[in-house]
């Protein structure tokens, strides 16, 4: 592992996720400190995602042409500046400024995924993408707990400045350890060959044209839609969980951090074995079962009134998310050629951003109007829609071959 080309990108993602999770449980309490309502809190979350929606495909295409490493460095520098502004905020508009700057340069994850696609073969890709899941698990284990501890004892600015320090560390890691991968531009993936497309097909210019181009092709459309179902469910949960816990169970910022940490423990434990699990069951089946677990966990949240039920809900959702993320990302990259992987992952990042706009806003509206049970049920329904879609397609395919 230490000599693997994946080691630097894993370290980079790990530090970035740690920084992100330091801020994540903090924002609702930080914004309410400046007088924000639940809906405004989720608008703050959505502002980051809206900017990310604009920049995601652009950064993906730039990384395809200019290289992964320089594009990643620019993205990380923007994140660093955004966290500094967040730490120095003395008003609500400064919180918005910090999140907007971070969002406009937020291509870290999609570029890291494209890098992994560059240096791995398709059959090893799920195991490699699981490294991102491990980084997320470790980040959610350490970051939220540290955020709650720091905010409770030193004020809301402390976690934000801690995130800035970690972000600066990720810049140093990328600059000193990460090498630009050599991409086999002429080699198609199995998914591309099956679709009959050419790796030399010219990509359209423009964000919406690029999204329409990939959605116009059956193979990437299928898995991008599954990714959208996952993202909507996950984003709604993530955007509203702190507010839900504050109102339903009267949790403070420190207790909320520990809930996020528990989710990280569960997800991280599963990620280490994702390579073997994927080889045994296949990515398509894992996406289906992961979405079903997410649907069950999020729906159960709506009926949560005590700690044991909460832990079961978070446990189910964390297992589902840990399984779906690397599996569906692998299927997306297998559905296109190598020269398109940065672009299609940029589109998937745009879907994430769209979900992080829509999901938190729905969560904020429901919570502000006291519809706490509906919050969990709606979040679960997004995952269930994806699972049903995949079940219908699998049943139809089986009927045709029978």
Domain ranges of the chain: 6-177+206-401
d(CA 402, CA 392): 15
Classify 6-177+206-401 by CATH class: mainly alpha
Residue 398's pLDDT is: 55
Name the range with the highest mean pLDDT among 155-164, 287-296, 318-327, 352-361: 287-296
Evaluate if residue 199 carries a pLDDT over 60. no
More confident residue, 185 or 366: 366
d(CA 45, CA 231): 14
What's the chain's average pLDDT? 85
d(CA 109, CA 128): 14
Q: How confident is the model at residue 402 (pLDDT cuts 50, 70, 90)?
A: low
What would the pLDDT profile of 9-24 be if each residue is shown by its tens digit? Answer: 888 888 888 888 888 8
Evaluate if residue 236 carries a pLDDT over 90. yes
Evaluate if residue 112 carries a pLDDT over 90. no
Residue 381's pLDDT is: 97
User: What is the arithmetic mean of pLDDT over 326-340?
Assistant: 86
Residue 3's pLDDT is: 58
Contacts of 101 (CB under 8 A, 6+ apart): 78, 81, 82, 85
Evaluate if residue 157 carries a pLDDT over 70. yes
Residue 193's pLDDT is: 42
Of 139-143, 250-254, 371-375, give the lowest mean pLDDT range. Answer: 139-143
What would the pLDDT profile of 165-178 be if each residue is shown by its tens digit? Answer: 988 988 988 898 88
Evaluate if residue 328 carries a pLDDT over 80. yes
Residue 20's pLDDT is: 82
Query: How much of the chain exceeds pLDDT 90, in percent?
Result: 40
């Amino acid at each position: 592992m230490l000599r693997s080309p994946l080691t630097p990108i894993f370290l980079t993602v790990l530090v970035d996720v740690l920084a992100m999770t330091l801020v994540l449980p903090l924002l609702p309490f930080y914004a309410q400190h400046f007088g924000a309502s639940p809906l405004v809190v989720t608008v703050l979350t959505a502002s980051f995602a809206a900017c990310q929606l604009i920049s995601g495909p652009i950064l993906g295409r730039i990384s395809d042409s200019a290289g992964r490493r320089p594009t990643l460095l620019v993205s990380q520098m923007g994140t660093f500046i955004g966290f500094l502004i967040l730490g120095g905020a003395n008003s609500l508009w400064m919180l918005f400024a910090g999140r907007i700057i971070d969002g406009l340069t937020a291509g870290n994850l999609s570029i890291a995924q494209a890098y992994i696609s560059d240096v791995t073969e398709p059959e090893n890709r799920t195991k490699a993408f699981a490294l991102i899941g491990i980084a997320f698990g470790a980040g959610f284990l350490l970051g939220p707990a540290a955020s709650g501890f720091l905010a409770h004892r030193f004020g809301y600015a402390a976690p934000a400045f801690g995130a800035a320090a970690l972000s600066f560390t990720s810049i140093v890691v990328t600059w000193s350890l990460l090498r630009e991968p050599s991409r086999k531009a002429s080699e198609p993936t199995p998914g591309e060959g099956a679709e009959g497309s050419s790796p030399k097909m010219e990509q359209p210019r423009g964000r919406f044209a690029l999204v329409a181009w990939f959605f116009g092709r059956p193979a990437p459309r299928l898995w991008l839609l599954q990714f959208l179902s996952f993202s909507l469910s996950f984003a709604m949960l993530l955007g509203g969980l702190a507010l839900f816990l504050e109102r339903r169970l009267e949790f403070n910022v420190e207790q909320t951090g520990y809930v996020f940490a528990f989710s990280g423990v569960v997800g991280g434990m599963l990620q280490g074995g994702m390579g073997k699990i994927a080889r045994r069951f296949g990515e398509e089946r894992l996406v289906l079962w992961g979405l079903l677990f997410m649907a069950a966990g999020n729906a159960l949240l709506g009926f949560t009134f005590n700690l044991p039920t909460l832990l079961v809900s978070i446990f189910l959702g964390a297992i589902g998310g840990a399984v779906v993320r690397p599996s569906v990302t692998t299927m997306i990259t297998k559905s296109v050629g190598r020269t398109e992987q940065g672009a299609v992952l940029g589109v998937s990042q745009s879907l994430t951003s769209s979900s992080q706009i829509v999901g938190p806003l729905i969560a904020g509206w429901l919570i502000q109007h006291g519809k706490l049970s509906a919050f969990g049920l709606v979040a679960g329904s997004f995952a269930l829609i994806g699972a049903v879609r995949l079940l219908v397609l699998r049943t139809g395919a089986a009927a045709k071959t029978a």
